[in-house]
């Protein structure tokens, strides 16, 4: 998958487009093929390191938790979602 990522804290200059492995889908999770995404103020605060005391960031990190798309895979304990759901 292609994603904008960052491998260290900083401003928008640390962003880079990279090819990443498809993530594994764990219990209570779904994999979504993203059709649209946004970046909100929390994403910028996480990327700057401003929320480091409160949140664990795993690098490379992908900003943009607000997404719309189609479910590609579902994990255990996700009966409310099905492959193909928008």
pLDDT at site 74: 97
Q: Where are the alpha helices (DSSP H) in the chain?
A: 41-48
pLDDT at site 64: 84
Name residues whose C-beta falls within 8 Å of residue 41's C-beta, 6 or more positions apart in sequence.
none
Task: Set out the domains of the chain in order of their start, with CATH numbers.
Answer: 2-74 (3.90.180.10)
Residue 7 has pLDDT above 90, yes or no: yes
**Each residue's pLDDT tens digit, 33-86:** 999 999 889 999 999 999 999 988 999 999 988 999 999 999 999 999 999 999
pLDDT at site 61: 94
Residue 17 has pLDDT above 90, yes or no: yes
Mean pLDDT (whole number) for 17-30: 95
pLDDT at site 39: 85
């Amino acid at each position: 998958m292609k994603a904008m990522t960052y491998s260290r804290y900083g401003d928008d200059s640390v962003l880079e487009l990279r090819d990443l492995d498809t993530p594994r889908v764990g219990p209570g999770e779904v994999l979504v093929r993203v059709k649209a995404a946004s970046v909100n103020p929390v994403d910028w605060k996480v990327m700057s390191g401003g929320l480091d005391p409160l949140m664990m960031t795993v690098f490379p990190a992908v900003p943009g938790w607000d997404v719309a798309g189609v479910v590609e895979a579902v994990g255990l304990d996700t009966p409310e979602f099905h492959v193909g759901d928008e």
